[in-house]
Chains A and B, each alone.
Chain A
Amino acid sequence: MTLWFVFAVMTAAAIFAVLLPLGLGARTPSDGREAAVYTDQLAEIERDVENGLIGKVEAEAARVEIGRRLLAAADQENEVPVKASIGWRRAAAVLALIGVPVVALAVYLPLGSPQLPDFPLTARAAPPDGSQPLEALVSQVEQHLQKNPTDGRGWTVLAPVLARLGRTEDAIRAYRNMITYAGDGAAKRADLGEMIAAAAGGVVTAEAKAEFERAHALEADEPKSNYYLGLAAEQDGRKQDAAAIWLRLLSKAPADAPWRPLVAAALARVGGGEAPALPSEAMAAAKSMSEGDRDTMIRGMVDRLATRLKQDGGDVEGWLRLVRAYVVMGDLDKAKGALSDARQAVSGDAERLRQLNEGVKTFGLDG
């Protein structure tokens, strides 16, 4: 409300400034005359003559010239008398009274933000509830680091936060400082490279790639750098290389690594064959996946198993797993088909056939 009051006072002052002379119109204020300039020039010639700065003849000539101008000026001034036009004055007053507020509001309202209060820094440094927004904490750490730029721990704390806040350029600098002051490391290099790539809109630039290569050199199995090196290969159009890198990465990866599906998806994208099968206990990891993802993953596994068993049919355990999988997935036709395939495959071996039949009993498949 105060703000609108201030606006009103200011507007009133502006209108007053226009109305004042209109109200005082009757008085004729001091008015400069051309003639004054010329009388002044005449006086000046007198002074110059007195000081001997110009000769008598020159002075006389100048006097005549200025005198002529003086007369002309005097003539001119008598020509047009000053008059009062009340109508125009009223119009001007109305223009000020209506025009000033209208123009002011018409321009201000679309441009201004009257609802926003001021936010001077002093008022924002310590909010009343004592809690500080993340940005404030970040800025405190930044200020601390500006004074102690060699505090590696500080940079280690700051860098990932900056990365999460989307301040990529600052994060890059923070990661570099972290590497300089808190020691080099494969993971740190990989994080730095990731930020550089993020700043470049996801493109693994030469600069980013250099960081990933450093990381790879420091620790060959570091997953992030390997992933990005693969991505770099993909972006360069070397899909074979990309697939090779990712395949190697997956083969060495722990079963519960959260990035597995990401790499698998990337691998699928470049069409570089199938990801190696997960060990059965990896199913635990799959539980955290979404329904659709899990389904896709299981189907992929089942298909791979089926392919493998077609070439090497002696694996009873494998056959049992495949049949069980089809049953679980509700695909009874395939389950029966698989079972008959299995029987055919192990038909030459009585012991294995017995094992198979024992196992199948529990599935409730007839025949």
Chain B
Amino acid sequence: MIAESGHYALVLALALALIQSTVPMLGAAQRDVALMNVGRSAALAQLVFAGLSFIALITLHVSSDFSVANVFENSHSMKPLLYKITGVWGNHEGSMLLWVSILALFGAMVAAFGNNLPLSLRARVLSVQAWVASAFYLFILTTSNPFARLATPPIEGRDLNPVLQDIGLAVHPPMLYLGYVGFSISFSFAIAALIEGRIDAAWARWVRPWTLMAWIFLTLGIAMGSYWAYYELGWGGWWFWDPVENASLMPWLAGTALLHSAVVMEKRNALKVWTILLSILTFSLSLLGTFLVRSGVITSVHAFASDPTRGVFILGILVLFIGGSLTLFAGRATALKQGGLFAPISREGALVLNNLLLTVSCATVLFGTLYPVIMEALDFKLSVGAPFYNLTFGPLFALLLLMVPFGPMLAWKRGDLVAAMQRLLAAGVASLAAIAIAWAWARGGSALAPLGIGLGVFVITGAIVDLVERTGIARVPFRTALHRTRGLPRSVWGTAFAHAGLGIALLGIVCETTWNSELISTLRPGDVRNLAGYQIKFDGMTQRQGPNFAEVVSTFVISEDGKQLSVMTPSKRSFATRGMSTTEAALMTRGVSQLYVSLGDTTADGGLAVRIYHKPLVLLIWFGPVLMAFGGLLSLSDRRLRVGAPQPARGLRGLQAAE
């Protein structure tokens, strides 16, 4: 009964989405309050039914009901409970169900917390949201139904792809989807505003918390995915310019640009058309990412769906929404009134430059991702890898980072570049010192590396200088400074943290790629190897039995100057049901550097092939994005973004929950 109820709940969610996509739109045109309010209750009910359906699928996976094809294909009765649950979104059907559930969640959040929006705008936003939802409900029900049944249920399931049986997978896809799908809200706002035919500074303020929320989740989701690839795939790499990674990076770049241009629009009523376009592009890139991953156009770890009908269906959705929204944009954009003027050297100017660099780098990634696909369609096999991105994306981003500290230093409307440079003098000095130290200390590696470190330090100290300048700690009496610090809007803190996070991530990336040392060797028990000052002794191998896998664990004793530091136990797991094996790398963290041991094959004469890496400052790569997300969270908690602030207190208050 659970299976069929879940199925029916999904169908009801579709029915509600169809109503939600028409009735409120009609209400907004007719200026009828009751009709417009249908959008609100329908969105909430849609969340209830989509949620029920998702919970039903989880229950089925947990109870190992193999009469459901999806459970049979992706679960196993011996799988640990955690992976029974995460296995729900470790497959195509389940992950699409998660996708629409999150879409329904965002719609319901607008319905519940959107009290500060004008009624007609809210009704239209919810309707547009329901268009997207309807398309995806139909997609799920017709091409990838997670509730399809098997009349004669097999006694045992086929198990989940072992690479996906990992804690990283428990967190990474939901985060990423919260990000991807979160941008659907800014898309819906943009379309609603275009239909309404009026866009003002207020629009930017209304849409910003949603964009910010999506951006935070996407940032964390990408960082999480990169860390998962780092420790689970066993190659020690953390970014492969894999099409699927690019698919998540592109909406992030566009979303970051959107976040910044929305600030200009909110403050100065300028860049309105551009901001609307970015909203559409960001969500379009999210859809494109979904298409690339789900259609099997690109074969990768993620493409567990390789079914042409699905691909064609998603392509249809893609064409419908991107084409439709851009057509609407083309029709309406000229009618939009342009707002505030500004000089080239100003905060606005800096943000325009930021947008320009972000969108161009996004375009290079898009080119690098789609070019091989197009060439393959024309029967040329080629791949675009790191060298391409190092030559295109790299310089663009370096330039962008160089500009980052200047932005917050410039005033709105008309800025003073010389004054900004003077204030950044301290940051410049710090960065030169860092370059000098890095040059003196570095042994080998690229000549660009010290420059990269200098750039990272410049961005970090730039963020600190910004805070120091605003609070005036260096200039005014301490009490005044303290007063100012308390009065500083949280969004200013958020900006500083997010920008510093960029610099920190850059430091990690430069150090890891330049001074990463690697040892590939065949070891016999008792052998000792040296790497980066550590002695690594191979002790031997033992067998162990996991819940649904057999494991060969190798033991390595790590010592430094004869003193034992730690025991590392990388392993190889073989999963009988799928006949696959995974490599579980072992990591030893010292400070923010890591020692990484990953196993290869055993040779015929009893030796064990081992890859050992020493990765200096590698953890900074992920610490940076976490700091950026934290900055986003601070900004989100800023009183200006709290929804419904000017109204009398009454029950739940908007996004305060996100603090």
Interface status of A100 (Cβ within 8 A of chain B): yes
Q: Which residues of A contact B14 (CB under 8 A)?
A: 103-104, 107
The 8 A CB mask of B76-116 against A (1 = contact, 0 = none) is 01100000000000000000000000000000000000111
Contact partner of B646 among A20, A36, A120, CB < 8 A? Answer: A36
Which residue on A lies nearest to B648, using beta carbons?
A: A30
Interface status of A201 (Cβ within 8 A of chain B): no
Contact B201 A37 (CB under 8 A): yes
Q: How far apart are the CA atoms of A51 and B149 in the complex, in Å? A: 65
Q: How far apart are the CA atoms of A53 and B489 in the complex, in Å? A: 10
Which of B41-49, B241-249, B581-589, B625-633 sits within the interface?
Answer: B41-49
Contact partner of B35 among A10, A37, A89, A149, CB < 8 A? Answer: A89
Q: How far apart are the CA atoms of A133 and B156 in the complex, in Å? A: 13
Contact partner of A116 among B4, B31, B34, B145, CB < 8 A? Answer: B4
Contact B5 A25 (CB under 8 A): no
Contact A69 B269 (CB under 8 A): yes
- Tell me the minimal C-beta distance from B54 to chain A in angstroms: 15
Which residue on B lies nearest to A77, using beta carbons?
A: B118
Contact A88 B32 (CB under 8 A): yes
Interface status of B429 (Cβ within 8 A of chain A): no
Q: How far apart are the CA atoms of A316 and B487 in the complex, in Å? A: 126
Contact B34 A22 (CB under 8 A): yes
Q: How far apart are the CA atoms of A83 and B11 in the complex, in Å? A: 33
The 8 A CB mask of A50-77 against B (1 = contact, 0 = none) is 1111000010011001000100110010
Q: How far apart are the CA atoms of A82 and B645 in the complex, in Å? A: 24
Q: How far apart are the CA atoms of A60 and B588 in the complex, in Å? A: 57
Interface status of A328 (Cβ within 8 A of chain B): no
Interface status of B64 (Cβ within 8 A of chain A): yes
- Tell me the minimal C-beta distance from A234 to chain B in angstroms: 31
Q: How far apart are the CA atoms of A119 and B153 in the complex, in Å? A: 8
Q: How far apart are the CA atoms of A199 and B114 in the complex, in Å? A: 60
- Tell me the minimal C-beta distance from B408 to chain A in angstroms: 12
Q: How far apart are the CA atoms of A2 and B11 in the complex, in Å? A: 18
Contact B34 A89 (CB under 8 A): yes
Q: Which residues of B contact A358 (CB under 8 A)?
A: none
Contact A10 B5 (CB under 8 A): yes
- Tell me the minimal C-beta distance from B477 to chain A in angstroms: 12
- Tell me the minimal C-beta distance from B94 to chain A in angstroms: 17
A29 and B155 in contact, given A14-B15, A40-B640, A104-B15 (Cβ under 8 angstroms): no
Please indicate which of the listed interface residues A39, A80, A112 has the most CB atoms of chain B within 10 Å of its own CB: A112
- Tell me the minimal C-beta distance from A283 to chain B in angstroms: 45
A118 and B3 in contact, given A69-B201, A149-B550 (Cβ under 8 angstroms): yes
- Tell me the minimal C-beta distance from A17 to chain B in angstroms: 3
Contact B119 A31 (CB under 8 A): yes
Contact B42 A29 (CB under 8 A): no
Contact A73 B16 (CB under 8 A): no
Contact A143 B33 (CB under 8 A): no
Contact partner of A73 among B1, B32, B66, B200, CB < 8 A? Answer: B200
Contact B484 A28 (CB under 8 A): no
- Tell me the minimal C-beta distance from A66 to chain B in angstroms: 8
Contact A100 B19 (CB under 8 A): yes
Please indicate which of the listed interface residues B18, B67, B118, B155 has the most CB atoms of chain A within 10 Å of its own CB: B155
Interface status of A238 (Cβ within 8 A of chain B): no
Q: How far apart are the CA atoms of A84 and B187 in the complex, in Å? A: 29
Q: Which residues of A contact B114 (CB under 8 A)?
A: 32
Which residue on B lies nearest to A11, using beta carbons?
A: B12
Interface status of B340 (Cβ within 8 A of chain A): yes
Which residue on B lies nearest to A149, using beta carbons?
A: B550
Q: How far apart are the CA atoms of A53 and B484 in the complex, in Å? A: 7
Contact B151 A116 (CB under 8 A): yes
Contact A116 B67 (CB under 8 A): yes
Q: How far apart are the CA atoms of A224 and B5 in the complex, in Å? A: 53
Which residue on B lies nearest to A44, using beta carbons?
A: B640
Contact A17 B65 (CB under 8 A): no
Contact B31 A83 (CB under 8 A): yes
Contact B35 A119 (CB under 8 A): no
Contact partner of B40 among A11, A21, A34, A39, CB < 8 A? Answer: A21
Contact partner of B117 among A32, A62, A92, CB < 8 A? Answer: A32
Q: Which residues of B contact A44 (CB under 8 A)?
A: 489, 640
Interface residues of A in 102-129 (CB under 8 A from B): 103-104, 107-108, 111-114, 116-122, 124
Please indicate which of the listed interface residues A23, A39, A119 has the most CB atoms of chain B within 10 Å of its own CB: A119
Q: Which residues of A contact B27 (CB under 8 A)?
A: 88
Q: How far apart are the CA atoms of A328 and B484 in the complex, in Å? A: 121
The 8 A CB mask of A1-43 against B (1 = contact, 0 = none) is 0110011001101100110111111011111111011111100
Contact partner of A118 among B2, B122, B472, CB < 8 A? Answer: B2
Contact A121 B66 (CB under 8 A): yes
Interface status of A301 (Cβ within 8 A of chain B): no
Please indicate which of the listed interface residues B30, B472, B645 has the most CB atoms of chain A within 10 Å of its own CB: B30
Q: How far apart are the CA atoms of A107 and B116 in the complex, in Å? A: 37
Q: Which residues of A contact B640 (CB under 8 A)?
A: 40-41, 44
A47 and B15 in contact, given A22-B34, A52-B472, A139-B155 (Cβ under 8 angstroms): no
Q: Which residues of B contact A184 (CB under 8 A)?
A: none
Q: How far apart are the CA atoms of A24 and B78 in the complex, in Å? A: 52
Q: Which residues of A contact B41 (CB under 8 A)?
A: 17-18, 20-21
A65 and B12 in contact, given A17-B42, A18-B42, A85-B32 (Cβ under 8 angstroms): no
Q: Which residues of A contact B268 (CB under 8 A)?
A: 65
Interface status of B38 (Cβ within 8 A of chain A): yes
Contact B141 A13 (CB under 8 A): no
Contact A99 B12 (CB under 8 A): no
- Tell me the minimal C-beta distance from A339 to chain B in angstroms: 64
Contact B63 A50 (CB under 8 A): no
Contact B30 A83 (CB under 8 A): yes
Contact partner of B16 among A27, A100, A117, CB < 8 A? Answer: A100
Interface status of A81 (Cβ within 8 A of chain B): yes
Contact B149 A18 (CB under 8 A): no
Q: Which residues of A contact B319 (CB under 8 A)?
A: none
A118 and B19 in contact, given A89-B35, A124-B155, A142-B156 (Cβ under 8 angstroms): no
- Tell me the minimal C-beta distance from A126 to chain B in angstroms: 12
Interface status of B343 (Cβ within 8 A of chain A): no
Contact B202 A37 (CB under 8 A): yes
A24 and B411 in contact, given A103-B14, A116-B151 (Cβ under 8 angstroms): no
Contact A37 B205 (CB under 8 A): yes
Contact B340 A65 (CB under 8 A): yes
Which residue on A lies nearest to B27, using beta carbons?
A: A88
Contact partner of A81 among B31, B60, B148, B200, CB < 8 A? Answer: B31
Which residue on A lies nearest to B122, using beta carbons?
A: A32
Q: Which residues of A contact B149 (CB under 8 A)?
A: 113, 116
Interface status of A169 (Cβ within 8 A of chain B): yes
Q: Which residues of B contact A38 (CB under 8 A)?
A: 201-202
Contact B11 A39 (CB under 8 A): no
Q: How far apart are the CA atoms of A7 and B470 in the complex, in Å? A: 60
21 residue pairs bridging A and B, Cβ less than 8 Å apart = A3-B1, A3-B4, A3-B5, A10-B12, A21-B38, A23-B34, A28-B33, A29-B37, A29-B119, A41-B640, A62-B412, A84-B32, A84-B33, A85-B30, A85-B32, A104-B8, A112-B7, A113-B149, A133-B155, A135-B154, A169-B579
- Known: A2-B1, A52-B484; 15 extra A-B contacts, CB below 8 A, are A17-B16, A18-B38, A22-B34, A25-B32, A31-B119, A32-B115, A36-B116, A40-B645, A73-B202, A88-B27, A95-B23, A100-B16, A147-B545, A169-B579, A173-B576
Chain B residues close to A by CB (< 8 Å): 1-5, 7-9, 11-12, 14-16, 18-19, 23, 26-27, 30-35, 37-38, 40-42, 44-45, 48-49, 60, 63-67, 77-78, 114-119, 122, 141, 145, 147-149, 151, 153-156, 198, 200-202, 205-206, 268-269, 340, 411-413, 470, 472, 480, 483-484, 487-489, 545, 548, 550, 576, 579, 640, 644-647, 650
Chain A residues close to B by CB (< 8 Å): 2-3, 6-7, 10-11, 13-14, 17-18, 20-25, 27-34, 36-41, 44, 47-48, 50-53, 58, 61-62, 65, 69, 72-73, 76, 80-85, 88-89, 92, 95-96, 99-100, 103-104, 107-108, 111-114, 116-122, 124, 133, 135-136, 138-139, 142-143, 146-147, 149, 169, 173
